[in-house]
Amino acid sequence: MQWYLKVLNNYAGFEGRARRKEYWMFVLFNFIFELIVRIVDAILHTHSLLPFLYGLAVLIPSLAVSARRLHDTGKSGWVQLINLIPVIGTIIFIVFMCQDSQDRPNKYGPVPKEFYNE
């Protein structure tokens, strides 16, 4: 949960780097919260209003943590646009998100401190 909150606290921070753990824990908790919101939406019959509002609220943090994750692997945040290519683009994006972090400072910033704590 701390990783999810860390991403939300850095709401629009596109600079710097994010470790694999930070990114994937955010994705996991985002998925869980999305399921909860969809269940509540079905119970309340709000016609997809709640999932829309939740998705809108986490759009910028999702883009920001993805950009920081790409920075951690040495790629530009603009590489996220590869998701616009149906199927293949999404597969390539997932592969990029699973890659190891660069273990040295790069042009996007120093190695995240947590890297050494694992």
Residue 111 belongs to some domain of the structure: no
Residue 96 belongs to some domain of the structure: yes
pLDDT along the chain (118 residues), means of 10: 90 93 96 97 94 97 97 96 96 96 92 63
Measure the CA–CA gap between 66 and 105, rounded to whole angstroms.
18
What was the pLDDT predicted at 117? 52
Measure the CA–CA gap between 70 and 80, rounded to whole angstroms.
8
Residue 118 belongs to some domain of the structure: no
Total domains present in the chain: 1
Residue 58 belongs to some domain of the structure: yes
What was the pLDDT predicted at 112? 83
| Signed CA dihedral, 97, 116, 29, 57: sign only | negative
Full residue range of the structural domain in which residue 73 is found: 2-103
The token pair at 74 is 């040495």
**Nearest-CA neighbor of 13 among 55, 59, 67, 53?**
67
Residue 99 belongs to some domain of the structure: yes
